[in-house]
Amino acid sequence: MEMRLDYIKASPGGVKAFGNVYGYVVQSGLEDVLIDLVYLRVSQINGCAYCIDLHTRDLLKKNVAPAKLALVQAWREAEPMFSGRERAALAWAESVTRVEITRVPDDDFNAAAAVFGEKELADLTMAIGLMNAYNRLAISFRRVPDSVLAEKA
């Protein structure tokens, strides 16, 4: 795979704006590992190799067990490995990411709202939206995963 366009160079202001949202999410008070698990799951749904690679490596650096990472895409069947907040965040991320299919029904909202406060849920949804946007950039312009570049070197 070869990168089609370097969107970071082409639109540094746009990338900086996304970075500001990322910075907000980081300081929002949501747990780091929870956010990275959501980023990973959103990226899995969208099939974004660059972001799957990035967030898997980030979670490994945070000492998340490889077995847990391997089961993120099947988290419902691996329930004991994920906290209640993680399960609620992953379910919400799936519903919001697949909005064209789910329409984000009241049941999904009510389940997430039972676990997260209003600010947390708004911030979590911003994080989900941000990752969906990053995925679309990386997929559209064929951003090559860092692990692939390292393998080539």
pLDDT > 90? residue 18: yes
Provide the pLDDT for residue 13. 98
Closest CA to 48 of 109, 122, 135, 114: 135
Provide the pLDDT for residue 50. 97
- Residues 18/133, Cβ–Cβ less than 8 Å: yes
Q: Which domains does the chain have, with CATH numbers?
A: 11-142 (1.20.1290.10)
Residue type, 114: A
pLDDT > 90? residue 23: yes
pLDDT in tens, 29-55: 999 999 999 999 999 999 999 999 999
Provide the pLDDT for residue 152. 83
Closest CA to 81 of 92, 67, 63: 67
Provide the pLDDT for residue 153. 78
